[in-house]
């Protein structure tokens, strides 16, 4: 088994590396996945039996709103190049990474895997959503070929060590942590965009890494996509996340700027499929995860992505 991981320097890739050090981890410094010939020539040298495709153009709500075209273009091109290379080189095993934010806006809750293509995504991130949805379509086509096992994991909001803490282009938890840190340092209000009423499920990156390891080593089912999330009961509001971060960082001067939108109000998903695949899986709760990531953030502030 020779496992290649794209996006190896990102949030999920770095957490996976801690528990699967023998995989080969690639970053944008190794290969530009937007360029087909460069991707093909690089992958030829690696002779992979398995590809875990984590690389993507990503950002938070406001990054998606402002750059929908770039999100669509770059993710379509990256996924098309990687998939075409995998087919040409006869890579028989593949795991891609989607996101629960790409599901349709109008759905029946809780969302299940079968609803992925049952309508348009929320307008705030339609470029990213359509760019990522096509990876699932590619996998379905590859699974029509004899001997190929291609699937996608669909994690809900991921957070953890090694995340991007950029103040504008990060996901919600790392962005909030960085804002609170600077507000406390400067004695200014901890300003939060939106009302905080939106509801989300969060998965700790270390838990997602364990799921990926299990799917590579121990699972041979034929599901094309698998939602990876905590239970419906563990869905929380952004406001509660803000308050937990403020409490841990001991700084409660919070202000909500309601001139900003909240994005999609809720995206509640079912985790029945992953629990049936890994019955003993226990997700670490949000309080544990926030304490761990804030401690890591403060200890590594000078060297983190920000």
Task: Count CA atoms within 13 Å of residue 278 on its CB side.
Answer: 22
Catalytic annotation, residues:
128
Residue holding tokens 């590859």? 142
Tell me which DSSP letter residue 171 carries.
-
What is the C-alpha to C-alpha distance for residues 263 and 123, in angstroms, rounded to an integer? Answer: 9
In three-state form (DSSP H/G/I as H, E/B as E, the rest C), the secondary structure along 79-94 is: HHHHHHHHHHCCCCEE
Does any domain span residue 44? yes
pLDDT value at position 68?
Answer: 84
The two tokens of residue 145 are 């070929």
SS3 233: helix
Concatenated DSSP letters for 262-273?
--SS---B--HH
Residue-by-residue pLDDT tens, the chain, 306 positions? 999 999 999 999 999 999 999 999 999 999 999 999 999 999 999 999 999 999 998 766 656 667 788 999 999 999 999 999 999 999 999 999 999 989 998 889 999 999 999 999 988 788 999 999 999 999 999 999 999 999 999 999 999 999 999 988 888 999 999 999 999 999 999 999 999 999 999 999 999 999 999 999 999 888 899 999 999 999 999 999 999 999 999 999 999 999 988 888 899 999 999 999 999 999 999 999 999 999 999 999 999 988
What is the C-alpha to C-alpha distance for residues 2 and 12, in angstroms, rounded to an integer? Answer: 19
Number of domains in the chain: 1
Q: For residue 299, give every residue at least 6 positions away whose Cβ sits within 8 Å of its Cβ, in sequence order, or none.
A: none
**Pairing relation of β-strands 157-159 and 202-204?**
parallel
pLDDT value at position 295?
Answer: 97
Does any domain span residue 174? no
Domain that holds residue 273: 3-163+201-234+267-284
What is the C-alpha to C-alpha distance for residues 151 and 51, in angstroms, rounded to an integer? Answer: 11
pLDDT value at position 129?
Answer: 92
Does any domain span residue 193? no
Does any domain span residue 209? yes
Does any domain span residue 98? yes
Query: With the CA atoms of 31, 34, 37 and 42 taken in that order, what torsion angle do they form, in degrees rounded to the nearest 10?
Result: 20
pLDDT value at position 195?
Answer: 96
β-partners of residue 94 are 51, 150
Please, what is the end-to-end C-alpha distance for the chain in angstroms? 35
Does any domain span residue 186? no
Cβ proximity of 271 and 231 under 8 Å: yes
Tell me the pTM: 0.94
pLDDT value at position 229?
Answer: 97
The residue count for the chain: 306
Does any domain span residue 180? no
**CATH code where residue 230 lies:** 3.40.50.720
The two tokens of residue 48 are 């992979």
Does any domain span residue 228? yes
pLDDT value at position 62?
Answer: 58
pLDDT value at position 304?
Answer: 92
What is the C-alpha to C-alpha distance for residues 116 and 26, in angstroms, rounded to an integer? Answer: 28
Residue holding tokens 């004899």? 146
């Amino acid at each position: 088994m020779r496992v290649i991981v794209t996006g190896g320097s990102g949030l999920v890739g770095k957490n996976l590396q801690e528990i699967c050090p023998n995989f080969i981890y690639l970053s944008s410094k190794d290969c530009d996945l937007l360029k087909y010939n460069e991707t093909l020539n690089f992958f030829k040298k690696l002779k992979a039996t398995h590809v875990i495709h984590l690389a993507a153009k990503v950002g938070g709500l406001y990054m998606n709103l402002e750059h929908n075209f770039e999100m669509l273009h770059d993710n379509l091109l990256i996924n098309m190049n990687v998939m075409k290379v995998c087919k040409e080189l006869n890579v028989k095993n593949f795991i891609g990474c989607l996101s629960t934010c790409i599901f349709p806006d109008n759905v029946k809750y809780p969302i299940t895997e079968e609803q992925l293509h049952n309508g348009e995504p929320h307008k705030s991130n339609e470029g990213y959503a359509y760019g990522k949805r096509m990876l699932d379509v590619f996998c379905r086509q590859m699974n029509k070929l004899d001997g190929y096992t291609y699937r996608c994991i669909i994690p809900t909001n991921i957070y953890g060590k090694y995340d991007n803490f950029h103040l504008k282009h990060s996901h919600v938890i790392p962005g909030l942590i960085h804002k609170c840190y600077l507000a406390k340092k400067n004695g200014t209000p901890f300003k939060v965009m939106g009302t905080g009423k939106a509801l989300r499920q969060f998965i700790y990156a270390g838990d997602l890494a364990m799921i990926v390891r299990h799917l590579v080593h121990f699972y041979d089912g034929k599901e094309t996509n698998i939602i990876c999330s905590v239970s419906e009961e563990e869905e929380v509001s952004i406001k509660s996340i803000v308050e937990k971060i403020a409490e841990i960082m001991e700084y409660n001067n919070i202000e909500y700027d309601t001139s900003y939108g909240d994005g999609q109000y809720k995206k509640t998903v079912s985790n029945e499929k992953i629990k049936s695949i890994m019955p003993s899986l226990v997700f670490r709760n949000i309080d544990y995860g926030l304490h761990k990531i804030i401690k890591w953030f403060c200890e590594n502030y000078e060297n983190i992505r920000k």
